[in-house]
Amino acid sequence: MNAQTLQKKLSDLPLERLRYFESVGSTNDEALAWAASGAPDLSLVIADEQTSGRGRLNRKWFTPKGTALAFSLILRSPAPALLPRTVGLAALSIADSLLVHQLAARIKWPNDVLVNGRKAGGVLIETVWSGTEIDSLVIGMGINVQRDSVPPAEDLQFPATSLEEELGRALDREEFLHDVLSAFIARRPQLGTDAFMKDWEDLLAFRGERVQIRVNESETHTGELLGIDSRGALRLRNEHGNVVTAQVGDVSLRPAA
């Protein structure tokens, strides 16, 4: 992977600009700084290696050189009402691309993409503010492509896998990046539709199962996972029969024992 081959591979997509790094701390950090200085809509930051990659709740994201996809896409002037849906947009784009390779994905709310019950990718959304208004979004995606992209088992909080392991063969990273970005661009106009929410909910992992939502150290809810509401919040019927909602970014989700 290098800047020249990426430019050629992605030339048919309406990306505005591309910045490639052989090694970087975090593609999201680079994209946040670039967005703050005026990067146009659909600008892309991608790295062959991240040394300080992070996921949700500041968890470390493992991105060794030459093994994974780590990239961040900048969106300008997002519609505030649709912001909670953007994590679903990114996750669905990965899921769409996996389906091209006959891999059925599920989305572990809010931001993990699972294959055969193990994490293959994740999404991190961050914002750039202009006063009290959101100026732009940075959508970071990390995807385990080759076997060596999966962290050691002792470093995992949830079982992980790679696309190579699931397919039984190697997958070209640049080709798969093209697939994901193409799916993202195709789905973006659907963000405000009911059909988009149905597609997201249809891929929801653990739907109909008994799960536990950990809101914080002192608050947990256990019950049946119902789905996602129009705001992108998770819906759960608790043990008292009441429907509880959880906003994106506030919970940790695991199947209940």
Task: Give the integer Cα–Cα distance in Å for 75 and 87.
Answer: 13
What are 86-121's pLDDT values in tens digits? 999 999 999 999 999 999 999 999 889 999 999 999
Task: Identify the three-state secondary structure at position 241.
Answer: coil
pLDDT category of residue 213 using cuts at 50, 70 and 90: confident
Strand residues in the chain grouped as ranges (E): 17-21, 43-47, 68-76, 105-108, 112-115, 118-130, 133-144, 210-216, 219-228, 234-238, 243-246, 252-255
Q: For 32-76, how does the pLDDT look when each residue is reduced to its tens digit (9 = 90+)?
A: 999 999 999 999 999 999 887 665 555 676 688 999 999 999 999
User: Residue 201: enclosing H or E segment and its boundaries?
Assistant: helix 194-202
- pLDDT (0 to 100) of residue 253: 67
The reported pLDDT for the residue numbered 133 is: 84
What is the domain class of 3-202 according to CATH? alpha beta
Segments of the chain assigned to CATH 3.30.930.10:
3-202
- pTM given for the model: 0.92
Rounded Cα–Cα distance for residues 257 and 250 (Å) = 21
Contact 111, 87 (CB under 8 A): yes
- 10 Å CB burial of residue 152 (0-12, 13-18, 19+) is exposed
The tokens for 190 are 């659907």
CA torsion angle 170 173 179 180 (round to 10) = 120
- Which class is domain 210-255? mainly beta
Amino acid at position 41, single letter: D
Residue type, 42: L
Q: DSSP letter at 210? A: E
